[in-house]
Amino acid sequence: MQSNGYIMNLRRDVFQAISDPTRRAILLLLTTQTMTAGAIASNFDTARPTVSKHLQILTECELLNQQQNGREIYYQINANKMKEVADFIEPFRQMWDDRFNKLETVMKNYQSKNKK
């Protein structure tokens, strides 16, 4: 991969991280609670090492934080990092774009109706 500096690579990694449906599902699971790797894996039919790999990727790009609690490691969402991801804002922007596209269509229909 061509390097355009550290930040660019980091960003690209974050986008890759959330483009995977399993990793998105993991993030979803962790939006409301912290969980151990075992608890997370029990939600998927995928093999445990595969889930571990996903957790590793999410942790490496700082979307997840690890928290040691006794012998267990708990995973939690790094909200600050999520904010940095443009994708975090994108669904909100998309919602408004859809809404405004509809407004435009509705008003164009109204315009042509009233011209007749």
Partner 1 sequence: MENKTTIDIKEGKQDLLITREFDLPIELLFKAYTEPELLEQWMGTKVIKLENRNHGSYQFETSYNGNVVFKANGTIHEFKPNQKIIRTFEMENMPIGVQLEFLEFEKLTETTSKLNMQVIYKSNEHRELQLKMPFVNGLNMAHDRLQQILTNKN
52 lines the binding site for partner 1 (CB under 8 A): no
d(CA 83, CA 31): 13
To the nearest whole angstrom, how small is the minimum distance from the Cβ of residue 105 to partner 1?
A: 8
In angstroms, the CA 17 to CA 56 distance is 10
Does 116 contact partner 1 by CB under 8 A? Answer: no
- Candidate segments 9-17, 25-33, 49-57, 66-74, binder of partner 1 by CB under 8 A: 25-33
DSSP label at residue 45: S
Contact flag: residue 48 with partner 1 (CB under 8 A): no
Instruction: Provide long-range contacts, Cβ within 8 A and 24+ apart, for 32-38.
Output: 34/67, 34/74, 34/75, 34/76, 35/74, 35/75, 36/72, 36/73, 36/74, 36/75, 37/73, 37/75
Q: Which two tokens stand for residue 108?
A: 């164009």
- Residues in contact with partner 1, total (CB under 8 A)? 33
Sole window of 5-13, 52-60, 62-70, 92-100 interacting with partner 1 (rule: CB under 8 A): 92-100
Q: How far is the CB of 33 from partner 1 (least distance, A)?
A: 14
Beta bridge partners of 77: 64
- Please give the residue ranges that form the binding site for partner 1 (CB under 8 A): 21-22, 24-25, 27-28, 31, 44-45, 79, 83, 87-89, 91-97, 99-108, 110-111
